[in-house]
Protein backbone atom coordinates (compact mmCIF):
# COMPACT_ATOMS: atom_id res chain seq x y z
CA UNK A 1 0.00 0.00 0.00
CA UNK A 2 2.94 2.32 0.85
CA UNK A 3 4.46 1.69 -2.57
CA UNK A 4 1.13 2.33 -4.36
CA UNK A 5 0.76 5.60 -2.41
CA UNK A 6 4.23 6.64 -3.47
CA UNK A 7 3.43 5.91 -7.13
CA UNK A 8 0.22 7.95 -7.00
CA UNK A 9 2.10 10.83 -5.37
CA UNK A 10 4.86 10.69 -7.98
CA UNK A 11 2.28 10.65 -10.78
CA UNK A 12 0.46 13.63 -9.26
CA UNK A 13 3.72 15.58 -8.97
CA UNK A 14 4.60 14.75 -12.60
CA UNK A 15 1.17 15.83 -13.90
CA UNK A 16 1.35 19.09 -11.93
CA UNK A 17 4.85 19.81 -13.23
CA UNK A 18 3.76 19.26 -16.84
CA UNK A 19 0.68 21.48 -16.35
CA UNK A 20 2.83 24.25 -14.84
CA UNK A 21 5.36 23.98 -17.68
CA UNK A 22 2.59 24.21 -20.31
CA UNK A 23 1.09 27.24 -18.53
CA UNK A 24 4.50 28.94 -18.34
CA UNK A 25 5.16 28.26 -22.03
CA UNK A 26 1.75 29.68 -22.95
CA UNK A 27 2.44 32.80 -20.92
CA UNK A 28 5.91 33.19 -22.41
CA UNK A 29 4.78 32.62 -25.99
CA UNK A 30 4.70 36.01 -27.69
CA UNK A 31 1.29 37.16 -28.90
CA UNK A 32 0.92 37.18 -32.70
CA UNK A 33 -2.45 38.06 -34.13
CA UNK A 34 -3.97 39.68 -37.20
CA UNK A 35 -7.44 41.23 -36.98
CA UNK A 36 -9.44 42.09 -40.07
CA UNK A 37 -12.39 44.46 -40.13
CA UNK A 38 -15.27 45.20 -40.70
CA UNK A 39 -16.37 43.70 -37.42
CA UNK A 40 -20.14 43.15 -36.99
CA UNK A 41 -21.81 45.39 -34.39
CA UNK A 42 -21.26 43.62 -31.08
CA UNK A 43 -21.69 44.17 -27.34
CA UNK A 44 -18.55 44.37 -25.17
CA UNK A 45 -20.34 45.02 -21.84
CA UNK A 46 -19.48 41.59 -20.44
CA UNK A 47 -15.79 42.13 -21.25
CA UNK A 48 -15.78 45.56 -19.58
CA UNK A 49 -17.70 44.31 -16.53
CA UNK A 50 -15.29 41.41 -16.02
CA UNK A 51 -12.32 43.79 -16.38
CA UNK A 52 -13.84 46.28 -13.91
CA UNK A 53 -14.62 43.67 -11.25
CA UNK A 54 -12.72 40.45 -11.95
CA UNK A 55 -14.42 37.32 -10.65
CA UNK A 56 -17.87 38.89 -10.32
CA UNK A 57 -20.31 37.12 -12.65
CA UNK A 58 -21.38 39.67 -15.27
CA UNK A 59 -25.08 40.49 -15.40
CA UNK A 60 -26.37 39.83 -18.91
CA UNK A 61 -26.56 43.03 -20.94
CA UNK A 62 -30.03 44.07 -22.08
CA UNK A 63 -28.90 45.50 -25.44
CA UNK A 64 -29.91 43.60 -28.56
CA UNK A 65 -26.36 43.17 -29.91
CA UNK A 66 -24.62 39.79 -29.90
CA UNK A 67 -21.58 39.52 -27.62
CA UNK A 68 -19.60 36.87 -29.44
CA UNK A 69 -16.01 36.77 -30.60
CA UNK A 70 -15.39 39.59 -33.11
CA UNK A 71 -12.39 41.61 -34.31
CA UNK A 72 -13.57 44.42 -31.99
CA UNK A 73 -13.87 42.14 -28.94
CA UNK A 74 -10.40 40.76 -29.64
CA UNK A 75 -8.97 44.27 -29.87
CA UNK A 76 -10.70 45.21 -26.59
CA UNK A 77 -9.32 42.07 -24.87
CA UNK A 78 -5.77 42.95 -25.94
CA UNK A 79 -6.17 46.48 -24.58
CA UNK A 80 -7.67 45.23 -21.32
CA UNK A 81 -4.58 43.09 -20.75
CA UNK A 82 -2.69 46.31 -19.86
CA UNK A 83 -1.37 46.33 -16.29
CA UNK A 84 1.03 49.28 -16.19
CA UNK A 85 0.88 51.50 -19.27
CA UNK A 86 -1.02 52.21 -22.46
CA UNK A 87 0.50 54.55 -25.04
CA UNK A 88 -1.90 55.59 -27.80
CA UNK A 89 -1.04 57.37 -31.04
CA UNK A 90 -4.31 57.79 -32.92
CA UNK A 91 -5.25 59.97 -35.88
CA UNK A 92 -8.93 59.89 -34.92
CA UNK A 93 -10.74 58.44 -31.93
CA UNK A 94 -14.53 58.56 -31.93
CA UNK A 95 -15.59 55.01 -31.00
CA UNK A 96 -17.41 55.18 -27.62
CA UNK A 97 -16.72 51.50 -26.86
CA UNK A 98 -12.96 51.93 -27.21
CA UNK A 99 -13.13 55.19 -25.20
CA UNK A 100 -14.86 53.31 -22.36
CA UNK A 101 -12.16 50.63 -22.54
CA UNK A 102 -9.41 53.24 -22.22
CA UNK A 103 -11.24 55.01 -19.37
CA UNK A 104 -11.60 51.74 -17.50
CA UNK A 105 -7.84 51.14 -17.75
CA UNK A 106 -7.18 54.69 -16.53
CA UNK A 107 -9.45 54.10 -13.51
CA UNK A 108 -7.66 50.82 -12.84
CA UNK A 109 -4.39 52.76 -12.45
CA UNK A 110 -2.85 52.06 -15.84
CA UNK A 111 -0.81 55.06 -17.02
CA UNK A 112 -2.54 56.16 -20.24
CA UNK A 113 -0.93 58.67 -22.62
CA UNK A 114 -2.68 59.70 -25.82
CA UNK A 115 -1.33 61.53 -28.86
CA UNK A 116 -3.79 62.60 -31.53
CA UNK A 117 -4.24 64.83 -34.55
CA UNK A 118 -5.22 68.42 -33.78
CA UNK A 119 -7.69 68.71 -36.65
CA UNK A 120 -9.60 65.49 -36.01
CA UNK A 121 -9.57 65.94 -32.23
CA UNK A 122 -12.38 68.50 -32.40
CA UNK A 123 -14.64 66.76 -34.92
CA UNK A 124 -18.18 65.74 -34.04
CA UNK A 125 -18.22 62.50 -32.08
CA UNK A 126 -14.55 62.68 -31.08
CA UNK A 127 -13.94 61.01 -27.71
CA UNK A 128 -10.84 63.08 -26.94
CA UNK A 129 -12.72 65.67 -24.84
CA UNK A 130 -14.34 62.94 -22.75
CA UNK A 131 -10.99 61.26 -22.11
CA UNK A 132 -9.42 64.59 -21.10
CA UNK A 133 -12.31 65.22 -18.71
CA UNK A 134 -11.60 61.82 -17.19
CA UNK A 135 -8.06 63.00 -16.43
CA UNK A 136 -6.19 61.24 -19.22
CA UNK A 137 -3.13 63.05 -20.59
CA UNK A 138 -3.62 64.08 -24.21
CA UNK A 139 -1.17 65.80 -26.55
CA UNK A 140 -1.65 66.79 -30.17
CA UNK A 141 0.33 68.07 -33.13
CA UNK A 142 0.49 71.72 -34.12
CA UNK A 143 1.62 71.32 -37.72
CA UNK A 144 -0.10 71.16 -41.06
CA UNK A 145 0.71 67.51 -41.80
CA UNK A 146 -1.49 64.89 -40.18
CA UNK A 147 -0.51 62.81 -37.16
CA UNK A 148 -1.74 59.77 -39.10
CA UNK A 149 -0.46 56.89 -36.94
CA UNK A 150 -2.97 54.41 -35.54
CA UNK A 151 -1.08 52.40 -32.95
CA UNK A 152 -1.20 51.40 -29.30
CA UNK A 153 1.53 49.97 -27.08
CA UNK A 154 0.46 47.90 -24.09
CA UNK A 155 2.85 47.70 -21.11
CA UNK A 156 5.74 48.75 -23.41
CA UNK A 157 5.69 45.23 -24.78
CA UNK A 158 2.75 44.60 -27.11
CA UNK A 159 2.30 46.63 -30.29
CA UNK A 160 -1.16 47.02 -31.84
CA UNK A 161 -0.95 48.78 -35.21
CA UNK A 162 -2.57 48.91 -38.62
CA UNK A 163 -4.91 50.87 -40.87
CA UNK A 164 -7.76 51.17 -38.36
CA UNK A 165 -8.79 54.54 -37.01
CA UNK A 166 -10.70 54.13 -33.76
CA UNK A 167 -14.07 55.13 -35.19
CA UNK A 168 -17.28 53.12 -35.21
CA UNK A 169 -17.61 53.72 -38.94
CA UNK A 170 -14.19 52.17 -39.62
CA UNK A 171 -14.80 49.25 -37.25
CA UNK A 172 -18.21 48.36 -38.64
CA UNK A 173 -17.97 49.36 -42.32
CA UNK A 174 -14.41 49.48 -43.61
CA UNK A 175 -11.92 46.89 -44.80
CA UNK A 176 -9.18 47.35 -42.20
CA UNK A 177 -6.30 45.45 -40.63
CA UNK A 178 -4.71 45.44 -37.19
CA UNK A 179 -1.52 43.58 -36.34
CA UNK A 180 -0.82 42.51 -32.76
CA UNK A 181 2.91 41.97 -32.30
CA UNK A 182 4.84 41.06 -29.17
CA UNK A 183 8.32 41.48 -30.57
CA UNK A 184 10.95 43.56 -28.81
CA UNK A 185 12.47 44.99 -32.01
CA UNK A 186 9.22 46.26 -33.54
CA UNK A 187 7.88 47.44 -30.17
CA UNK A 188 11.06 49.43 -29.48
CA UNK A 189 10.86 51.22 -32.83
CA UNK A 190 7.27 52.31 -32.14
CA UNK A 191 7.93 53.14 -28.47
CA UNK A 192 10.81 55.40 -29.56
CA UNK A 193 8.53 57.06 -32.13
CA UNK A 194 5.90 57.56 -29.42
CA UNK A 195 8.40 59.19 -27.03
CA UNK A 196 9.72 61.46 -29.82
CA UNK A 197 6.18 62.63 -30.64
CA UNK A 198 5.20 62.93 -26.96
CA UNK A 199 8.14 65.28 -26.39
CA UNK A 200 7.64 67.21 -29.62
CA UNK A 201 3.95 67.78 -28.78
CA UNK A 202 4.73 68.90 -25.23
CA UNK A 203 2.34 71.84 -24.60
CA UNK A 204 5.36 73.84 -23.40
CA UNK A 205 6.45 73.85 -27.05
CA UNK A 206 3.12 74.95 -28.54
CA UNK A 207 3.50 78.14 -30.50
CA UNK A 208 -0.04 78.92 -31.64
CA UNK A 209 -1.43 80.38 -28.39
CA UNK B 1 57.51 25.50 -49.85
CA UNK B 2 54.93 22.78 -50.58
CA UNK B 3 53.71 22.94 -46.98
CA UNK B 4 53.45 26.75 -47.06
CA UNK B 5 51.48 26.57 -50.31
CA UNK B 6 49.15 24.05 -48.70
CA UNK B 7 48.64 26.33 -45.71
CA UNK B 8 47.85 29.31 -47.95
CA UNK B 9 45.41 27.18 -49.96
CA UNK B 10 43.70 25.90 -46.79
CA UNK B 11 43.42 29.45 -45.44
CA UNK B 12 41.93 30.67 -48.75
CA UNK B 13 39.38 27.84 -48.74
CA UNK B 14 38.44 28.62 -45.14
CA UNK B 15 38.01 32.36 -45.83
CA UNK B 16 35.85 31.62 -48.89
CA UNK B 17 33.72 29.15 -46.94
CA UNK B 18 33.11 31.70 -44.17
CA UNK B 19 32.26 34.42 -46.71
CA UNK B 20 29.78 32.12 -48.48
CA UNK B 21 28.20 31.11 -45.16
CA UNK B 22 27.80 34.78 -44.13
CA UNK B 23 26.26 35.62 -47.54
CA UNK B 24 23.84 32.68 -47.27
CA UNK B 25 22.87 33.67 -43.73
CA UNK B 26 22.25 37.25 -44.84
CA UNK B 27 20.07 36.07 -47.72
CA UNK B 28 18.17 33.68 -45.46
CA UNK B 29 17.68 36.22 -42.67
CA UNK B 30 14.11 37.47 -42.89
CA UNK B 31 13.68 41.17 -43.59
CA UNK B 32 12.46 43.19 -40.57
CA UNK B 33 12.19 46.92 -40.95
CA UNK B 34 10.15 49.83 -39.65
CA UNK B 35 9.91 53.01 -41.71
CA UNK B 36 8.67 56.27 -40.24
CA UNK B 37 7.46 59.21 -42.25
CA UNK B 38 7.47 62.13 -43.10
CA UNK B 39 10.27 61.46 -45.53
CA UNK B 40 12.06 64.53 -46.96
CA UNK B 41 11.49 65.15 -50.68
CA UNK B 42 14.04 62.98 -52.47
CA UNK B 43 14.97 61.78 -55.95
CA UNK B 44 14.59 58.07 -56.75
CA UNK B 45 15.71 58.27 -60.40
CA UNK B 46 18.99 56.44 -59.76
CA UNK B 47 17.10 53.58 -58.05
CA UNK B 48 14.64 53.30 -60.94
CA UNK B 49 17.39 53.48 -63.59
CA UNK B 50 19.41 50.75 -61.87
CA UNK B 51 16.27 48.57 -61.60
CA UNK B 52 15.39 49.16 -65.27
CA UNK B 53 18.86 48.33 -66.58
CA UNK B 54 20.90 46.55 -63.92
CA UNK B 55 24.64 47.08 -64.21
CA UNK B 56 24.40 50.18 -66.40
CA UNK B 57 25.89 53.15 -64.56
CA UNK B 58 23.03 55.59 -63.87
CA UNK B 59 23.38 59.03 -65.39
CA UNK B 60 23.16 61.65 -62.64
CA UNK B 61 19.67 63.12 -62.43
CA UNK B 62 19.40 66.84 -63.17
CA UNK B 63 16.64 67.51 -60.62
CA UNK B 64 17.57 69.56 -57.55
CA UNK B 65 16.40 66.92 -55.00
CA UNK B 66 18.89 64.93 -52.91
CA UNK B 67 18.98 61.19 -53.63
CA UNK B 68 20.10 59.90 -50.26
CA UNK B 69 18.68 57.20 -48.00
CA UNK B 70 15.11 58.14 -46.96
CA UNK B 71 12.00 56.28 -45.82
CA UNK B 72 10.67 56.66 -49.38
CA UNK B 73 13.85 55.30 -51.01
CA UNK B 74 13.77 52.33 -48.62
CA UNK B 75 10.15 51.62 -49.48
CA UNK B 76 10.98 51.83 -53.21
CA UNK B 77 13.94 49.44 -52.78
CA UNK B 78 11.71 46.88 -51.05
CA UNK B 79 9.17 47.09 -53.87
CA UNK B 80 11.88 46.83 -56.55
CA UNK B 81 13.04 43.55 -54.99
CA UNK B 82 9.91 41.89 -56.50
CA UNK B 83 10.73 39.16 -59.00
CA UNK B 84 7.42 37.36 -59.55
CA UNK B 85 4.42 39.15 -58.04
CA UNK B 86 3.26 42.33 -56.37
CA UNK B 87 -0.18 42.43 -54.74
CA UNK B 88 -1.32 45.92 -53.75
CA UNK B 89 -4.28 46.80 -51.55
CA UNK B 90 -4.32 50.61 -51.31
CA UNK B 91 -6.99 53.04 -50.14
CA UNK B 92 -5.48 55.86 -52.19
CA UNK B 93 -2.61 55.96 -54.64
CA UNK B 94 -1.57 59.33 -56.02
CA UNK B 95 2.22 59.39 -55.58
CA UNK B 96 3.80 59.55 -59.09
CA UNK B 97 7.13 58.13 -57.85
CA UNK B 98 5.48 54.99 -56.46
CA UNK B 99 3.34 54.69 -59.61
CA UNK B 100 6.51 54.71 -61.74
CA UNK B 101 8.01 52.06 -59.47
CA UNK B 102 4.97 49.81 -59.94
CA UNK B 103 4.93 50.41 -63.72
CA UNK B 104 8.61 49.47 -63.94
CA UNK B 105 7.91 46.17 -62.16
CA UNK B 106 4.99 45.50 -64.51
CA UNK B 107 7.24 46.12 -67.53
CA UNK B 108 9.85 43.80 -66.04
CA UNK B 109 7.27 40.98 -66.07
CA UNK B 110 6.25 41.03 -62.41
CA UNK B 111 2.55 40.12 -62.05
CA UNK B 112 0.99 43.22 -60.48
CA UNK B 113 -2.55 43.17 -59.05
CA UNK B 114 -4.05 46.28 -57.48
CA UNK B 115 -7.13 46.65 -55.29
CA UNK B 116 -8.27 50.15 -54.42
CA UNK B 117 -11.17 52.18 -53.05
CA UNK B 118 -13.81 53.17 -55.61
CA UNK B 119 -14.29 56.67 -54.22
CA UNK B 120 -10.63 57.65 -53.99
CA UNK B 121 -9.73 56.05 -57.31
CA UNK B 122 -11.21 58.95 -59.28
CA UNK B 123 -9.85 61.82 -57.22
CA UNK B 124 -7.57 64.45 -58.71
CA UNK B 125 -3.99 63.19 -58.91
CA UNK B 126 -4.91 59.52 -58.55
CA UNK B 127 -2.44 57.27 -60.38
CA UNK B 128 -4.96 54.45 -60.87
CA UNK B 129 -5.97 55.52 -64.40
CA UNK B 130 -2.34 55.70 -65.49
CA UNK B 131 -1.64 52.22 -64.11
CA UNK B 132 -4.71 50.82 -65.87
CA UNK B 133 -3.54 52.41 -69.14
CA UNK B 134 -0.22 50.66 -68.64
CA UNK B 135 -2.08 47.34 -68.57
CA UNK B 136 -2.07 46.67 -64.83
CA UNK B 137 -5.08 44.80 -63.44
CA UNK B 138 -7.10 46.97 -61.05
CA UNK B 139 -10.18 46.04 -59.03
CA UNK B 140 -12.17 48.21 -56.65
CA UNK B 141 -14.92 47.91 -54.07
CA UNK B 142 -18.54 48.67 -54.81
CA UNK B 143 -19.80 49.22 -51.27
CA UNK B 144 -20.30 52.20 -49.03
CA UNK B 145 -17.55 51.31 -46.53
CA UNK B 146 -14.00 52.23 -47.46
CA UNK B 147 -11.40 49.77 -48.71
CA UNK B 148 -9.01 51.32 -46.19
CA UNK B 149 -6.09 48.84 -46.25
CA UNK B 150 -2.64 50.13 -47.19
CA UNK B 151 -0.53 47.05 -47.79
CA UNK B 152 1.67 45.40 -50.41
CA UNK B 153 2.87 41.82 -50.67
CA UNK B 154 6.09 41.17 -52.61
CA UNK B 155 6.58 37.70 -54.15
CA UNK B 156 3.96 36.30 -51.72
CA UNK B 157 6.62 36.49 -49.05
CA UNK B 158 7.27 40.04 -47.85
CA UNK B 159 4.50 42.12 -46.27
CA UNK B 160 4.66 45.93 -46.36
CA UNK B 161 1.86 47.45 -44.27
CA UNK B 162 1.05 50.43 -42.07
CA UNK B 163 -0.76 53.73 -41.88
CA UNK B 164 0.72 55.21 -45.08
CA UNK B 165 -1.50 55.96 -48.05
CA UNK B 166 0.55 56.16 -51.21
CA UNK B 167 0.21 59.91 -51.65
CA UNK B 168 2.96 62.52 -51.87
CA UNK B 169 1.23 64.53 -49.13
CA UNK B 170 1.33 61.59 -46.72
CA UNK B 171 4.94 60.71 -47.59
CA UNK B 172 6.28 64.24 -47.24
CA UNK B 173 4.05 65.78 -44.55
CA UNK B 174 2.40 63.19 -42.29
CA UNK B 175 3.53 61.18 -39.31
CA UNK B 176 3.19 57.65 -40.71
CA UNK B 177 4.55 54.16 -40.17
CA UNK B 178 5.27 51.23 -42.46
CA UNK B 179 6.25 47.77 -41.24
CA UNK B 180 8.23 45.43 -43.48
CA UNK B 181 7.74 41.86 -42.34
CA UNK B 182 9.06 38.64 -43.85
CA UNK B 183 7.15 36.23 -41.66
CA UNK B 184 5.11 33.39 -43.14
CA UNK B 185 2.27 33.63 -40.60
CA UNK B 186 1.60 37.37 -41.00
CA UNK B 187 2.13 37.23 -44.77
CA UNK B 188 -0.36 34.35 -45.15
CA UNK B 189 -3.06 36.24 -43.22
CA UNK B 190 -2.68 39.28 -45.52
CA UNK B 191 -2.35 37.17 -48.69
CA UNK B 192 -5.61 35.39 -47.80
CA UNK B 193 -7.29 38.76 -47.19
CA UNK B 194 -6.00 39.97 -50.56
CA UNK B 195 -7.36 36.92 -52.40
CA UNK B 196 -10.75 37.27 -50.64
CA UNK B 197 -11.00 40.92 -51.70
CA UNK B 198 -9.70 40.21 -55.22
CA UNK B 199 -12.48 37.64 -55.71
CA UNK B 200 -15.15 39.76 -54.06
CA UNK B 201 -14.26 42.73 -56.27
CA UNK B 202 -14.24 40.63 -59.44
CA UNK B 203 -15.90 42.84 -62.10
CA UNK B 204 -18.15 39.88 -62.96
CA UNK B 205 -19.78 40.50 -59.55
CA UNK B 206 -20.29 44.25 -59.95
CA UNK B 207 -23.92 45.17 -59.61
CA UNK B 208 -23.96 48.91 -60.24
CA UNK B 209 -23.78 48.91 -64.05
Tens of pLDDT, residue by residue over B58-71, are 777 888 898 889 99
Is A174 near chain B, with CB under 8 Å? yes
Is A192 near chain B, with CB under 8 Å? no
How is domain B31-205 classified at the architecture level of CATH? Answer: 2-Layer Sandwich (3.30)
Question: Looking at residue B162, what is its pLDDT?
Answer: 98
Question: Looking at residue A208, what is its pLDDT?
Answer: 58
Would you say residue B38 has pLDDT above 80? yes
Question: Looking at residue B69, what is its pLDDT?
Answer: 93
Inter-chain CB proximity A91 and B32 less than 8 Å: no
Q: Are the C-beta atoms of B79 and B154 separated by less than 8 Å?
A: yes
Question: Looking at residue A111, what is its pLDDT?
Answer: 98
Given B163, B170, B197, which is nearest A175 (Cβ)?
B197
ipTM for the predicted complex: 0.86
Would you say residue A1 has pLDDT above 60? no
Which site among A141, A147, A149, A194 would you substitute to test the B interface, given the most B Cβ atoms closer than 10 Å to its Cβ? Answer: A149
Question: Looking at residue B2, what is its pLDDT?
Answer: 65
Question: Looking at residue A207, what is its pLDDT?
Answer: 67
Q: Which of A61, A19, A29, A25 is nearest to A43 (CA)?
A: A61
- Mean pLDDT across A172-190: 97
Would you say residue A182 has pLDDT above 70? yes
Q: Which of A90, A97, A132, A136 is nearest to A113 (CA)?
A: A136
Would you say residue A39 has pLDDT above 80? yes
Question: Looking at residue B1, what is its pLDDT?
Answer: 56
Nearest residue on chain A to B188, judged by CA atoms?
Answer: A34
- Helix, strand or coil for residue A85? strand
What tens digit of pLDDT does each residue of B80-133 get? 999 999 999 999 999 999 999 999 999 999 999 999 998 877 788 899 999 999
- Mean pLDDT across B4-22: 89
Is B124 near chain A, with CB under 8 Å? no
Is B206 near chain A, with CB under 8 Å? no
For A111, other C-beta atoms within 10 Å of its C-beta total 14
Q: Are the C-beta atoms of A128 and A121 separated by less than 8 Å?
A: yes
Of the two residues A209 and A44, the one the predictor is more confident about is A44
Q: Which of A178-187, B138-147, B185-194 has the lowest mean pLDDT?
A: B138-147
Amino acid sequence: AGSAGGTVLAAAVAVTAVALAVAAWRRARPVREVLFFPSPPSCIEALLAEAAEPGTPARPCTCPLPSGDTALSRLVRRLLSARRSLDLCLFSFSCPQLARTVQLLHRRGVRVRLVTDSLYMGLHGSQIGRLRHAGIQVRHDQHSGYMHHKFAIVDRKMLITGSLNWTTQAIQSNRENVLVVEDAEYVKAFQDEFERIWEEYNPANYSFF
